[in-house]
Each structure stands twice: as C-alpha cells, then as structure tokens.
Homo-oligomer: A and B are copies of this chain.
Amino acid sequence: MMKKTAAGADLSPNLAKETLKPSAFLNPVPVVMCSAQHAGVSDIITVAWCGTINSDPPMISVSIRKSRYSYDLIKNSGKVCVNLVSEALLKACDLCGVRSGRDIDKFAATGLTPVSSPIHGIPMIGEAPVNLECSVDRVIELGSHDMFLLNVDGVYVSGAIIDAGGKADLKKAGLVAYCHGEYYALGEILGFFGYSVAGADALARRTRR
C-alpha cells in the first residue's frame, strides 16, 4: 500500500512492526572524543551517548560508565573537552573507544596532538576539526551510565573549515555519525531546516553550491 503525503513523499505506513527488547535504539547519534586531565594524568574516551541539551546557555551531555578511566578525570577536574570526529580521525577515535587509559597513553598511542585549552588548560585534540571546551554543570546517576551535563565555555574551529565569509562550513569537516555499531560518513544533503515551507528564492539560494 502506497500513499502520498501532503508533504509530497511516497510513504507506505510500516504498520507491521516487530517488537524488539527495549533498548536505547536512537539512531544515528554523534560520536565524539572526550579529552580530560586531572592531577597530571590525561586520557581520551570515545563517547556516542551524547547530545545537545540546551541552546542558551549552550549545553551538551555525555554519558560515561563509572568504570571508565576518564570518568574520574572528568568528575574530579570538572572539565572536559569534547572533540568532534572527522573521517581522518576515525581510526584513532575507535581505538580510544576500545582501549583503556589504564593500559595505554591514548595521545601517544594515536599520535594525536594535545593542545592546552584556552580557558581551562586541559588537553584538546589538535587534529579535531572542532573542539568544545566544557565544564561540568552537574552529574546525574542513571544506572549503567552517569550523565554529565556540560556547559560549552569555548568553541574552536579549524581554519580549514572557515569559509570566505568567516563562518564555519561543516561540510568541509568530514564529520562522522554512529549508527547501530557502525560509523558512517555524512552523505547527500537532503534539505535544510525550513526547506519544507521555503519559497522558491530561498530554495534556489540554499541549494546553489
């Protein structure tokens, strides 16, 4: 059965649904590398359980198991840098998700460059296209994970992805998404926020690249 929605797409209602065991099946999600330092020890942990939680003041969340080596560094220092992941960084990102800082020095193992963050003086990943320098607002225990609510105090973007008008052009960053155990490149641009109600002028301007 096919039907046409008012918005124009052909859609078959997927009414024959299979019931799965409840899980956090939200997809795709971001994947980021969180870098932290406390008492002279630094580490990088890869996190996919993260998201934007507030616009003003800007806040994001990352959820981390108490058992992780980075957990105490972030909890005790109250600071963390959230580094966005490009395709070039992906293998290092994956490594930082499957190895523990108890066993290896993540910066040494990946060859990534720690750069002291301007406000809090914690290591940011120099090679990341975007660094979000954050402080911990509060920590909420949820079960398997603790959720860190973070204030975004500083945003630093690679000059290579700043366009001629001085704005960040994330299309140049080659960012990666995580979906059900796999890492994906971002593919075709399908539309922009508001495109469903945009006039012909806006549509032409925003799709002319």
Contact = CB atoms under 8 A, between A and B. Distances in A.
Interface stretch (A35-43, A69-77, A124-132): A124-132
Interface string A78-101: 000010100111111011011100
Contact of A110 (B5, B63, B181): B5
Q: How large is the interface on A (under 10, 10 to 19, 20 to 34, 35 or more residues)?
A: 35 or more
B49 A26 contact: no
Interface string A129-170: 111100000001011110101001111111110100000101
30 contacts: A5-B110, A6-B110, A7-B95, A9-B92, A13-B126, A14-B129, A15-B126, A22-B152, A24-B52, A24-B55, A24-B58, A25-B132, A26-B51, A27-B130, A29-B51, A48-B52, A50-B52, A53-B142, A54-B63, A54-B145, A59-B143, A94-B195, A94-B196, A176-B190, A177-B186, A181-B192, A181-B193, A182-B193, A183-B189, A186-B186
